[in-house]
Structure 1
Amino acid sequence: MKTLRIAVLTYRGCMATQLFGLADVLRIASQIDALRHGSSRVQFDVQMVGFDTAVAVSGGLRLPAKRPRGTFDLLIVPGLLAERGHRWSTTLAALAPELAFIAKTFARGTPVASVCVGAFLLGEAGLLDGRQVTTSWLFAKEFATRYPAARLQADAMLLEDGGVITTAAVTSVFDLALHLVKRHLGAAAATATAQATLLPTARTSQAPYVDPEAAASPLPSFSNRLRDWFDSRLAEPYDLQRVARAFHVSGRTLMRRVKAETGDSPLTMLQHARVDKARRLLASTRWSVARITQEVGYNDAATFARLFARRVGEPPSAYRKR
């Protein structure tokens, strides 16, 4: 039997869900594999390692942790309980021993994975420059600002690039666990484990879970007024010159100011506003998709469904059902 040594880094404030969730799913996968093959082909030896004998994780629960010894096949860095506008510099400065351990472990050739905002620790340790990465959608803009050299794909559920795995928000720890099961025990074992634990097997994007209002950063005053103007006129046809006249500027000036403030065009802002309104209507009413399509300014349901799917990651009917 092959033994895979996995170190899960415990540190002050990290999320207990991610510590135990990963270990439990891997343990269940080994049991299922043993039933299917007579004995498990891989033993997942998951060890909680840290630099304090007892670590106060999220919720104040204190967990024992042992200092890392020897080599590991994988180091996993969980996320921590944070809020928008979190004081990342203060938090990360207090984790200097953990950051040094992450950097040293990776430099020795050990793959490293993060869950949720654990990506901030990997970024601070210098692992993410030039790599395709993801993190929790709620903190994506803060992450992009702090680590501009990382190639952030904010909608992705799990990405692997050059020995570094990053995952999306909190429960993506289970996507990571199934990813490891599939890699080391095969797709059939991963499917069987997902069935036994009631876990989804095909999540590739966190876009369907994004709350646009929670994800949005405060817009500069001009673009904020434009968004409000669009919100009260979603069903009206788009006319750049009409919008420009409403704000007493030229069409060229309108385009330039919005691009500078948001990175988008006025039309893209309008499309996003229409999709966001459609999401709210799909969740809060029993209106047909066709009626909602017209309500937000589109006559062709198929065209709007494609636009919706590009923004949200799934078509309107699937979004409503989920």
Structure 2
Amino acid sequence: MKTKCIAILAYSGCMGMEVFGLCDTLLLANRVAVAINGPSAPLFEVIVTSLGGGNVTAAGGIPIGTRKPVARPDLLVVPGMELSDRHACTAPMSALAPEVAYLAKAFARGTPVAAVCVGAFLLGDAGLLSGRRATTSWLFAPDLARRFPAAMVDPAAMLVEDGGVATTGSFSAAFDLAMHLVRQSASAKVQRSVARMGLLDDRRTSQAPFIDTRMLARPEGAFAASVHAWLGQRLAEPYNLKQLAAAFHVSDRTLLRRVKEETGQTPLAYVQQARVGKAKVLLESTSLSVAQVTERVGYADVATFCALFKRNVGQSPAEYRRRFRVISQVDVKERPA
């Protein structure tokens, strides 16, 4: 099989782990393939490039030695960048305009591209997400969807590939991208060996178990923020659209329209998201049974809630608890009334 040339586009402020994690995993794949198959051409040639060549300073002040761009790599990867605050990606990053232009030209010449984490915003600025499915860090997925409405953003996906454009979830998904490339180029035996040697979970498909809705940005519109606050105080109560509309002195239709305009989701979708988020916290930090958690978040039927939880998180409540349970000497237990 022909050696694949993977070019990584480094730039000032990029995340070094996303560069080196990809480099080192593919280097490991080369070594494992030789150990298993005998002497042969390497699976990958990985080249760290920058527009000017020479050293670039990654996030945290770490210097990275780079080469000038190569003519036609088999894949061009752009890592994410350090963000100074929660809203740093809500507008184009003028300092990276040359990199954005380079990505657009490379793709126009026929080079497939990939982005790790918030590197997806650079692909969006290059016009490469329009009409395509995409993902990014779950924390910034709503911003990506707002910035690039022509993209179909899946905040839960770990890796999405659509029409020569690949995007990944948050930070450590650089390893998921690496394993995706290994799957494409190596045997199942090599793939399994690389995953085991690197302690990598090559079956990760979703960011959903890691999403913490408390960390997501609050809606910018005052009306939706008030609606969310009202609903948040009543999560354990049945959802009632008419009661909600009456509380804000508007019609059902007006309430749905205004909340959707300000947040991109319906009040019911918010309630379901908030209930799943609260259930995650209870499963992580208490000894409450799944039935008790179900009741605490406003559901009467355990099966209905478990189906909703699995649809949103990708795991059952019991599976989620086993993976994320906080170990402590004193658990919060159900107290008698």
TM-score (norm 2): 0.88
- Corresponding residue for residue 23 of structure 1: 23
Distance 2:266 2:143 in 1: 22
SS of 1:113's partner is strand
Matched ranges for 1:149-160 at <5 A: 149-160=150-161
The separation in 2 between residues aligned to 1:118 and 1:78, in whole angstroms, is: 5
Question: Within 2, Cα distance between the matches of 1:97 and 1:33?
Answer: 37
Tell me whether 1:163 sits opposite 2:164 in the alignment: yes
Separation of aligned partners in 1, 2:91 and 2:256: 35
Gaps of 5+ in 2: 324-337
Distance in 2 between residues matched to 1:54 and 1:88, nearest whole Å: 28
Shift in alpha-carbon separation, 1:70–1:224, aligned structure 2, 3 A: closer
1:13 is aligned to 2:1: no
Determine if the alignment matches structure 1 residue 312 to structure 2 residue 313: yes
CA contact (8 A) 2:7 2:70 kept: no
Look up the match of 2:211: 210
Q: Distance in 1 between matches of 2:253 and 2:98?
A: 52
Indicate the residue corresponding to 2:327 in structure 1: none
Most deviating of 209-218 and 38-47: 38-47
Overall identity of the aligned pairs, in % = 50
- Structure 2: distance between partners of 1:232 and 1:88: 30
Could you tell me whether the CA contact under 8 Å between 1:76 and 1:113 is conserved in 2?
Answer: yes
Which residue is 2:175 aligned to? 174
**Whole-Å separation in 2 of the counterparts to 1:236 and 1:88:** 35
Output one character per residue of 1:8-34: Cα deviation in whole Å (capped at 9) or x when no partner: 111010010011101111111111111
Residues paired across the two proteins, number: 321
Contact 2:73 2:111 in 1 (8 A): yes
**C-alpha displacement at 1:40, in angstroms?**
4.5
Deviation for aligned residue 1:41: 5.2
Match of 1:85 among 87, 90, 113: 87
User: 1:138 is paired with a residue of what secondary structure?
Assistant: coil
AA at the equivalent of 1:226:
V
Question: Could you tell me the TM-score, scaled by structure 1's length?
Answer: 0.92
Query: Which position in structure 1 is the counterpart of 2:136?
Result: 135
**d(CA) in 2 for partners of 1:170 and 1:176?**
11
The one-letter amino acid of 1:86's match is A
Per the alignment, residue 59 of structure 2 pairs with 58
- Equivalent position amino acid for 1:48 in 2: V
Runs of at least 5 residues in structure 1 that lack an aligned partner in the other structure: none
Preserved CA contact (<8 Å) 1:33 1:41? no
Deviation at 1:219, TM superposition (A): 4.6
Equivalent residues of 1:51, 1:98 under 8 A apart: yes
Aligned in 2, Cα 1:228/1:126: closer, same or farther, shift over 3 Å? closer
Whole-Å separation in 2 of the counterparts to 1:232 and 1:303: 22
Flag the 1:229–1:87 CA change in 2: closer, same or farther, 3 A: closer
State the Cα RMSD in Å.
2.0
Against the structure 1 CA distance between its residues 12 and 246, is the aligned structure 2 distance closer, same or farther, given a 3 Å change threshold? same
Deviation (angstroms), 1:153? 1.8
